[in-house]
């Protein structure tokens, strides 16, 4: 039996729980992973994942296959939910210009933690917009074009956010590199 496309399953999802759950199984890990990285919270990621999929039921017409795949649409949904989790809405203050006290974020305790934990904390210090770009590009390995579509910005803006995010991460992680080299 040929595998059902996401679009076909989505058509059935409102009437068939099986179709809906199949869609969920296909995308759950990705959506949870992105939600987790964007919020730094397993509980929030769980909530967001659920809302993203239920959103498909409430407004199935919102997904337009002509604009991209269902996965891309879900990336956009998870990003919007994560923004709401952070208390942000579209049009809110551009956090890229927000100054983060990097020195305060990097403590000595930082150096003693697991590497994964270190990165997690370092990324959580990024402004939300930079964090989104890093997570989609660096971790989800999406193309610049896809990231631009999901974030609703120009490719140049994506590059700019990535550049600033990486520069900031380098600065934040420098003590860790120094520490790990001396350990």
Partner 1 sequence: MNPSEDDLNCLLKTWTVPRSPDSLEGRLRRAYGDRARSRTTPGLLEVSSVQWEAAPGRQRKCGRGVWSRWIAGFLPFAGKFAGVIAVAVVLLAVITRAFPQSLGLFVPPGAIIIDSEFLDYGDDGSSTVSEYRTSVFSTPAWVTDTSSVSHIYGETTLSSSFPGDPLRTTAVELLNPVKVILDPVMHRMFDPLFYKPGRTSYLRAVGRYAAARIRNNCTPTNYGGTPMTVIGRETLLNYTTTVSQSEGRDARFTQWFALGLDCLPLRSTTEKALPDGTFQLASERRVLKVTTNSSRTAAKEPSR
Nearer to partner 1, 126 or 149 (CB): 126
Neighbours of 64 (CB within 10 A): 8
20/63 with CB nearer partner 1:
20
Tokens 């609703």 found at: 152
Which residue from 138, 140, 153, 164 is in contact with partner 1, where contact means CB under 8 A? 138
Q: Which residues are CB-contacts of 91 (< 8 A; sequence separation ≥ 6)?
A: none
C-beta of 43 vs 93, nearer to partner 1: 43
Nearest one of 2, 8, 4, 3 to 60, comparing CA atoms:
8
Nearer to partner 1, 94 or 177 (CB): 177
- Euclidean distance between CA atoms 179 and 173, whole angstroms: 10
Is residue 21 near partner 1 by the rule CB under 8 A? yes
Site for partner 1 in 59-98 (CB under 8 A): none
For position 168 contacting partner 1 by CB under 8 A, the verdict is: no
**Total site size for partner 1, rule CB under 8 A:** 37
Cα separation, 129 vs 108, in Å, equals 27
CA 72 – CA 147 distance, rounded (Å): 9
Taking the complex as a whole, the smallest distance from the CB of residue 66 to partner 1 amounts, in Å, to: 26
Among 10, 20, 77, 78, binds partner 1 (CB under 8 A): 20
């Amino acid at each position: 039996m040929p595998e059902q496309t996401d679009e076909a399953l989505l058509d059935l999802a409102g009437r068939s729980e099986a179709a809906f759950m199949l869609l969920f199984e296909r995308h759950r890990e990705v959506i949870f992973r992105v939600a987790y990285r964007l919020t730094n919270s397993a509980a929030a990621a769980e909530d967001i994942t659920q809302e993203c999929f239920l959103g498909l039921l409430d407004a199935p017409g919102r997904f337009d296959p002509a604009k991209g795949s269902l996965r891309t649409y879900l990336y956009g949904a998870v990003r919007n939910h994560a923004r709401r989790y952070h208390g942000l809405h579209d049009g809110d203050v551009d956090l890229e210009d927000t100054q983060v006290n990097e020195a305060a974020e990097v403590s000595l305790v930082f150096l003693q933690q697991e590497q994964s934990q270190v990165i997690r904390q370092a990324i959580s210090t990024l402004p939300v917009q930079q964090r989104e770009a890093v997570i989609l590009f660096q971790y989800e390995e999406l193309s610049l074009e896809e990231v631009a579509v999901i974030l609703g910005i120009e490719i140049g803006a994506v590059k700019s956010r990535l550049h600033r995010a990486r520069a900031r991460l380098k600065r934040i992680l420098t003590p860790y590199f120094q520490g790990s080299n001396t350990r």
